[in-house]
């Protein structure tokens, strides 16, 4: 899902209007929620989602969710909810998926890479740069644990994720720009750190946004389908 697009609060009432990507995405969101709640089974969900992304008009989308409560909620019910300040317990493991270490040197992690649930960064008389602006987020909640001793850790995230920080400095500087995404399925990046005579900085990278949320949503749905079908 391209977060630069504005997601409409409801399907337009005129059935003959051409359906937008936002209309199809909203219908898929409602169907995904219905599957999670057990209102429809995996087979029916797959059929309806396929029909949703084939739909040409709003009128073709409406029957796919007409019997589901989420389709009839008012826009006022869908209030903005900021990301939690801490990850959901049990979501992020204590062991790092990846370590980025710079000792009297520099280490850089950027480009198109898959972000694990937990990344540890250590800058000891060195510098670490972690750039998530082009990374692939496969998890909703991501933790970056940063330790800087006479060094620097610089973290950059896309503008349309949520960003949270927890940490401090000892004769050093710990700075995280709190950021809230308006997109419900956007990842949340949690930066935990300690800067000892060093710096830790996490900020959005201007002009960079995630454009593949729908792919990750589809992956989660496919995982649920495989589990349901016992594959």
pLDDT score, position 229: 52
Residue of higher predicted confidence among 214 and 53: 53
Q: pLDDT tier at 168 (50, 70, 90 boundaries)?
A: very high
* Percent of the chain topping pLDDT 70: 80
pLDDT score, position 6: 39
Residue of higher predicted confidence among 53 and 184: 53
What is the C-alpha to C-alpha distance for residues 103 and 53, in angstroms, rounded to an integer?
A: 50
pLDDT at 224 over 90: no
Q: Report the chain's mean pLDDT, rounded to a whole number.
A: 83
Spatial CB neighbours of 19, under 8 Å, sequence gap ≥ 6: 55, 56, 57, 58, 60, 61
What is the C-alpha to C-alpha distance for residues 93 and 145, in angstroms, rounded to an integer?
A: 12
pLDDT score, position 38: 86
pLDDT score, position 220: 52
Picking from 12-16, 74-78, 200-204, which range would have the lowest pLDDT averaged per residue? 74-78
Q: What are phi and psi of 52, to 5 degrees?
A: -60, -45
pLDDT score, position 14: 55
Cβ atoms < 10 Å from Cβ of 215: 11
Residue of higher predicted confidence among 17 and 9: 17
pLDDT score, position 3: 40
| DSSP label of 92 | S
* Percent of the chain topping pLDDT 90: 50
Nearest Cα residue to 163 out of 146, 148, 176? 176
Residue of higher predicted confidence among 212 and 41: 41
pLDDT score, position 114: 93
pTM for the model stands at 0.60
pLDDT score, position 223: 55
Among the ranges 67-81, 118-132, 180-194, 206-220, which has the highest mean pLDDT value?
A: 118-132
Q: pLDDT tier at 160 (50, 70, 90 boundaries)?
A: confident
């Amino acid at each position: 899902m391209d977060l630069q697009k504005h997601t409409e609060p409801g399907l337009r009432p005129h059935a003959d209007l051409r359906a937008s990507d936002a209309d199809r995405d909203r219908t898929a969101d409602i169907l995904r929620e219905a599957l999670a709640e057990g209102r429809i089974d995996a087979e029916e969900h797959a059929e309806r989602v396929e029909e949703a992304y084939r739909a040409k008009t709003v009128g073709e989308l409406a029957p796919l969710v007409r019997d589901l409560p989420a389709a009839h909620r008012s826009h006022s019910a869908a209030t903005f909810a900021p990301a939690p300040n801490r990850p959901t317990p049990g979501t992020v493991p204590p062991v790092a998926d990846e370590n980025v270490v710079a000792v009297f040197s520099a280490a850089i992690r950027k480009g198109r890479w898959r972000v694990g649930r937990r990344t540890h960064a250590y800058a000891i008389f060195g510098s670490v740069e972690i750039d998530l602006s082009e990374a692939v987020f496969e998890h909703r909640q991501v933790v970056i644990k940063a330790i800087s001793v006479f060094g620097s850790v610089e973290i950059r995230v896309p503008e349309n994720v949520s960003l949270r920080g927890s940490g401090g400095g000892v004769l050093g500087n710990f700075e995280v720009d709190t950021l809230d995404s308006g997109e419900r399925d956007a990842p949340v990046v949690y930066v935990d750190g300690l800067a000892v005579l060093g710096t830790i900085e996490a900020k959005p990278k201007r002009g960079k946004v995630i454009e593949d949320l729908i792919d990750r949503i589809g992956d989660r749905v496919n995982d649920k389908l495989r589990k349901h079908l016992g594959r």
